Structure 1
Amino acid sequence: MQTDINEGMLETRLVRVRGRVQGIGYREACVHRAHELGVTGWVRNRMDESIEAMLQGSPKQLADMCAWLSEGMSAALVEELEVTEVQPPFARFDSFERLPTE
């Protein structure tokens, strides 16, 4: 796992991805990409057919991950990417994982 997180640069974002993103392997691909970038957090399906991800990393890591979320998987059709900054204090994640549907 790549480590690019310095205490002063750690940021957290809650991202909602809407469009055709469920049933195509999007979450697994998201986990793989997060591991490549060194991003920590989680991803899960939502009952409204969107995907929700909690991302933690440096500003560059988060920018790269959000760019991938909007365009990185050719089978996906992302219609909207809603990004919300999570203000400190926030829990620190040690890894990136796939959570059950909520």
Structure 2
Amino acid sequence: MEPAYLTEAMRLVSLSQRRANKRLGDETAAAFRALLRDLEAAATFSEVPIAPLAVRQSNRILLTYGLNGSLVLEVEPRTRHEMTLQQWPEAHRFCLHRILDDSRVIV
């Protein structure tokens, strides 16, 4: 799938293993990079081998994936058209929002 990034910090952590290790620690950075590889290798979310821990919708749909311990990654599935909550597995693009430790933003 095609990635996008909500913030410059998320883009830098996604594209640089050194920055990811520095911001997240080695174990969490490895889990983050593995999940990112799975997302990029899949054609749609239905092909991602790891299911999200939670799916919620407010003004946009957000998927929450576990990384390491209490850290989670928020991902927004995207399509060319507006989608319903039931259609997120068909999305073919995604936007990395943020990495959280409980409710504290890490990236």
Answer yes or no: same fold by TM over 0.5: no
Q: Which structure dedicates a bigger proportion of its chain to helix?
A: 2
TM-score by length of 2: 0.29
Greater relative CO, 1 or 2 (CA 8 Å, sep 6+): 1
